[in-house]
């Protein structure tokens, strides 16, 4: 007899929850990797109590990194954070299993706690067949033994099938989590019901954070924590204390901050605010460009109205 989903969710909620930042990669004005700013930024994340993913294709601008830089951001993060907070490698959507295997092995060699395994993106707008997706993940997971987190992400234009997720989790015990990034609550519930008793489930972005916790998932990944890590960590920390007023107050602010940042340019806006405040964050790397001064002024008004400085102790 299948387990009652409500009972599974209740049991899952007894496991500790958490917030992970999808870290920015600071660059200098001329586009060089700014190691000093990166280390300072990572220390600020650790002090706030958030786990850290580095090198991601969105917030981490991973697609602009060359092979040496890709390894460097993981190595720097491990060196800076290994004794203070979980540090994981995220990477970018790969074209082949071989690319992903190389990345996982690099992250493991650098000492990362775990590595995300992105869904296959063949490129040119194509989508792989279900058989190709299964073969892709099987090839990777059979070739590596280090802890892995499977990503099912809207960026590739398809979702991983629930039976495949269940089969992979049942077969490969070095899968420790699922990162689910789809604005589909029914799909998220199916993921948790299928594998949430065996691995942690986090959602990408704050929009489904409370839904995930209610269903028995373990937390969320957030770009907003690059600016406001203490605020973002409060959502899951207050949840663990059964402080629902704290959860709701923090969550409402995170959602409003998220809307403001993405409406002003996403990570471009985040870095502009960090620079204005004198916090480590650096510049974006081309092809991205800085936001307009007028946009920054409006955004700073919103940051002030949301009392982010109070939350963060600036």
Q: What's the mean pLDDT in 77-81?
A: 97
Confidence of residue 1 (pLDDT cuts 50, 70, 90): very low
Residue-wise pLDDT tens digits, 203-259 = 999 999 999 999 999 999 999 999 999 999 999 999 999 999 999 999 999 999 999
Confidence of residue 16 (pLDDT cuts 50, 70, 90): confident
Q: What is the pTM of this model?
A: 0.94
User: Are 21 and 45 contacting, i.e. CB atoms less than 8 angstroms apart?
Assistant: yes
Confidence of residue 11 (pLDDT cuts 50, 70, 90): low
Q: How many CB atoms lie within 10 A of CB 125?
A: 6
Higher confidence at residue 4 or residue 1? 4
- What pLDDT is recorded for position 107? 98
Residue 159 has pLDDT above 60, yes or no: yes
CA atoms within 13 A on the CB side of 282: 26
- pLDDT-wise least confident of 7-11, 54-58, 283-287, 304-308: 7-11
Residue-wise pLDDT tens digits, 248-262 = 999 999 999 999 999
Residue 142: both structure tokens together: 């059979």
Higher confidence at residue 265 or residue 16? 265
Residue 116: both structure tokens together: 């995300």
- What pLDDT is recorded for position 6? 57
The dihedral region occupied by 137, where left means phi > 0, alpha psi between -120 and 50, and beta the remainder, is alpha
Superfamily of domain 5-237: Aldolase class I (3.20.20.70)
Confidence of residue 3 (pLDDT cuts 50, 70, 90): low
User: Are 28 and 282 contacting, i.e. CB atoms less than 8 angstroms apart?
Assistant: yes
Confidence of residue 267 (pLDDT cuts 50, 70, 90): very high
Residue-wise pLDDT tens digits, 141-158 = 999 999 999 999 999 999
* Residue closest to 150 by CA, chosen among 169, 134, 135: 169
CA atoms within 13 A on the CB side of 233: 19
- What pLDDT is recorded for position 74? 98
Residue 9 has pLDDT above 70, yes or no: no
Residue-wise pLDDT tens digits, 99-134 = 999 999 999 999 999 999 999 999 999 999 999 999
Residue 34 has pLDDT above 70, yes or no: yes
- What pLDDT is recorded for position 82? 87
Mean pLDDT value across the chain: 95
């Amino acid at each position: 007899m299948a387990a009652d989903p409500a009972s599974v969710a209740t049991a899952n909620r007894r496991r500790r929850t958490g917030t992970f930042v999808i870290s920015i990669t600071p660059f200098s004005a001329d586009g060089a990797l700014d190691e000093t700013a990166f280390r300072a930024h990572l220390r600020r994340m650790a002090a706030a109590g958030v786990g850290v993913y580095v090198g991601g294709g969105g917030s981490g601008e991973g697609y602009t990194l060359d092979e040496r830089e890709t390894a460097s951001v993981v190595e720097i993060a491990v060196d800076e954070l290994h004794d203070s907070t979980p540090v994981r490698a995220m990477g970018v959507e790969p074209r082949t299993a071989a690319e992903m295997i190389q990345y996982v092995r690099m992250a493991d060699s650098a000492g990362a706690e775990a590595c995300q395994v992105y869904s296959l993106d063949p490129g040119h707008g194509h989508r792989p067949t279900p058989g190709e997706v299964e073969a892709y993940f099987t090839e990777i997971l059979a070739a590596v033994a280090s802890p892995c987190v499977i990503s099912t992400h809207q960026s590739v234009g398809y979702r991983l099938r629930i039976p495949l997720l269940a089969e992979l989790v049942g077969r490969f015990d070095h899968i420790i989590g699922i990162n689910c990034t789809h604005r589909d609550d029914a799909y998220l519930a199916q993921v948790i019901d299928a594998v949430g008793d065996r691995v942690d489930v986090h959602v990408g972005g704050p929009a489904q954070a409370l839904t995930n916790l209610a269903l028995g998932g373990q937390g969320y990944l957030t770009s907003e924590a690059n600016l406001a890590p203490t605020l973002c960590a409060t959502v899951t920390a207050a949840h663990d204390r059964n402080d629902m007023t704290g959860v709701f107050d923090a969550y409402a602010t995170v959602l409003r901050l998220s809307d403001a940042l993405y409406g002003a340019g996403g990570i471009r806006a985040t870095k502009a605010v960090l620079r204005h405040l004198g916090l480590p964050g650096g510049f974006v790397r081309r092809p991205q460009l800085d936001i307009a001064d007028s946009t920054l002024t409006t955004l700073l008004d919103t940051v002030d109205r949301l009392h982010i400085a109070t939350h963060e102790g600036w």
